[in-house]
Structure formats: structure tokens, C-alpha cells
Amino acid sequence: MELKDAANQLGVHYQTAYQWVRAGRLHAEKIGTVYNVNESDLRRLINERSEPSPPPEMMHVRDWRVQQEKLLNHLLRGEESAARAKIQRLADGKVSIVDICEQLLSPVLKEIGERWVNRTLTIAEEHRASAIIERSLANLMFSPVGRPKGVVVVATPPGDEHSLPSIMATAALRNNRWITHHLGAQIPAEDLVKISKDVGATLVVLTLTNPEAMTSAQSIERILDQHNIAHLRGGMGTKLRDLLESVDTLTKKD
């Protein structure tokens, strides 16, 4: 049959089928000015195309420092689309959320913190970068198939405005089959207790970045203890892998 008819059966434009012939993907014989395709070659390609496409290959990041520098530059210039595309590509390449946070986002945030302290970066520039990262993280949260392991509430104690670590903790937990209620920053203790009971939380995860909010964190922990609600706290420099391990250990005990 002629290539144009084969293209119809394949459901593609003639030019696409022609490209496939040129690339050797579809065998065709040129007779005069017309390409002819035989039935069995066409069937083979139709079958091949109906196979489910393989999952995307796992991306291997050769040098995180290069990635960090590129992301930092996008963030400093306020190039949101480019920054988000960069982070999303890693997630699409099956790089774990823990690696994305700890190998890429946290080091970049730390660099932003240094520049802010040295006054080579304004608060506005820091806020813009933090907000872009926050929006990128929202896209990386998914709930994988499989039985949920339990329910976790994630919050930041009053007095601490650093919301990003709690978003990272939420993303890591959610992607590891925990139903996660993310409350963000400045949550009063009594509200935290109420919502934790309402959702039947297995435990509460507190993130503490501002050391000045330590007393407030400890006071929340005492209140959670009074209500027999299990809790874990992570702070600056603690690792998401440890969080996931601790949470899993807690459930195994149940």
C-alpha cells in the first residue's frame, strides 16, 4: 500500500510516516515517486506503537553543584518558569524528593541565607526565591498508589516563620505513602491538638528553624504529651531521611 494510506492506518500525518521511513523505523520501497509499505511491516509498527511506553528513565545527577548554581542563578534573577522547570525535570527523572530537597533546594537556600546576611541580597530577593521554591514543591507532591501508612500532621511552632522545611517534610512524607495534613507556620497549640484528633493523626511532626521559637516548640510538645499525641521534631540541619525512618519505626511499633 502507499505510504499515505499506511500513515492513515497509523493515525499520523504523512510527513511523520515519511520521517519514520527516512529514519528506518518503517520499511518502505520507493517505486517511481511513490513509497510503498507492505502489510506486515505496517502491522509490526502498529503493534510496537500500541505497547505501553516504558517509564521514564531514572535521571542520574552527575554534579549537584552545577545544578545548584543554575537554580541559584534562576532564583536570583526571578526566573520562575526556568527554576520550576529545572526542579520538575528532576522529579520527572525519578530523582527522589529527599534528594531534590537536600542536594538541591536546601544548599541553594543556605547560599541565599549567606548572601542575605552579607547584605548582597535584599529581603525582597530572598522572599521571591523562597516563594518560587514553595510553588515548585507543591508540584512535587503526589500520593503514590498503595495502602497509606498512616496520618501525619506537619506544623511549625508559633514564633517560627520558616515554612519551607515543613513543606519539604510534607512532600517527603506524602510521597512515602503518609496521608499528610500540612498546617504551615504559626499554629497555636490548642488548634494543633484539635486538628490532630479530628484527622486521627498517628503523629505530629514539628519543624523548627528559628532557634528563638524553641520555647514555643517545647511548650507545644508538652501539650501534645498531655493529649497522648506522638510527636517528632526536626530542625535546621536535620535530615528528611531520618524523619522518614523515625516515622516508619513508630508505625512498626503500633
Binding site for ligand B12 (CB under 6 A): 101-102, 106, 109-110, 112-113, 116-117, 126, 130, 159-165, 168-169, 205, 207, 209-211, 232-234, 236-240, 242-243
Of the two residues 20 and 180, which places its CB atom closer to ligand B12 in the complex?
Answer: 180
Of the two residues 148 and 235, which places its CB atom closer to ligand B12 in the complex?
Answer: 235
- Rounded CA gap, 200 and 213, in Å? 26
Instruction: Give the residue closest to ligand B12 by C-beta.
Output: 234
Min dist CB 66 to ligand B12, Å, is 20
CA dihedral 216, 218, 223, 226 (to 10 degrees): -170
Of the two residues 226 and 246, which places its CB atom closer to ligand B12 in the complex?
Answer: 246
- Rounded CA gap, 32 and 185, in Å? 73
DSSP category for residue 24? T
Q: Locate cell 515519511: which residue?
A: 18
- Rounded CA gap, 19 and 26, in Å? 9
Phi, psi of 83 (to 5 degrees): -65, -45
Of the two residues 42 and 208, which places its CB atom closer to ligand B12 in the complex?
Answer: 208
Min dist CB 148 to ligand B12, Å, is 19
Min dist CB 55 to ligand B12, Å, is 26
Min dist CB 118 to ligand B12, Å, is 9
Nearest residue to 155 (alpha-carbon basis) of 223, 92, 88: 223
